[in-house]
Amino acid sequence: MRVITGSARGRKLKTLEGMDVRPTTDKVKEAIFSVIQFDVPGAAVLDLFSGSGQLGIEALSRGAESCCFVDKSRSSIDVTSENVRSTGFEDKAFIFNSDSVQFAKTTTRSFSIALLDPPYGKGLIVPALEGLESKIKAGGKVICEHEEKLILPEKIGRLEKARHYKYGKVEVTLYIVPDEEAV
């Protein structure tokens, strides 16, 4: 696993071992960032269900202003912290060892981009989106990586489903908050 492009391009990232871990492939990561590439510079990013932190680190490498990494697994947070340190983004990273859905509901922060890659088959995306929808800035985007054939709602509060992509057994759904909305 590595950073694809930007200031930390080519840096190797550590990942967790085990059957519960499913790192985003380079192909899917490239596809995700091609969708949001012009929105990333200067963005306040949320990497919810962060795992190793690779999506948030990719955003920081591409010029995001900051990234909040959230995962309830202590071992995931430890690996994320190590990866943030090794890429030199400590001053732009905020790392929370917290239940991701609860964080989405209770945070007072607002974000331009949210990246969600929850464990598959646990029904976590919709509750996370419900908690997050009021925290996404006008014109903001939420990208959800999920298992194939999962049908997500067309609208969740201010979030509107904009696109849907399929990459083998992985699907990605993009939600946006229209520009005319106010946070």
Q: Where in the sequence is the domain holding 93, given as residue range(s)? A: 26-169
At 107-131, the pLDDT tens digits run 999 999 999 999 988 999 999 999 9
Q: Does residue 66 form part of some domain? A: yes
Instruction: Report how many domains make up the chain.
Output: 1
Structure confidence at residue 4 (pLDDT): 76
Q: Does residue 183 form part of some domain? A: no
Structure confidence at residue 14 (pLDDT): 87
Structure confidence at residue 30 (pLDDT): 87
List the one residue out of 121, 137, 75, 126 whose CA is nearest residue 101. 126
Q: Does residue 10 form part of some domain? A: no
Structure confidence at residue 27 (pLDDT): 81
Q: Report d(CA 183, CA 181) in Å as an integer.
A: 7
Q: Does residue 178 form part of some domain? A: no
Amino acid type, 43: A
Q: Report d(CA 109, CA 33) in Å as an integer.
A: 22
Q: Give the pTM.
A: 0.91
Q: Is the dihedral of CA 39, 95, 74, 86 positive or negative?
A: positive
Q: Does residue 127 form part of some domain? A: yes
Q: Does residue 18 form part of some domain? A: no
Q: Return left, alpha or beta for 27; rule: phi > 0 is left, psi -120 to 50 is alpha, else beta.
A: alpha
Q: Does residue 12 form part of some domain? A: no
| CB contact at 8 A, 32 and 54 | no
Structure confidence at residue 20 (pLDDT): 53
List the one residue out of 100, 181, 82, 172 whose CA is nearest residue 139. 181
Structure confidence at residue 182 (pLDDT): 46
Structure confidence at residue 12 (pLDDT): 85
Q: Does residue 136 form part of some domain? A: yes
Residue 149 is part of a domain; what is its CATH number?
3.40.50.150
Residues of the chain with pLDDT under 50: 19, 181-183
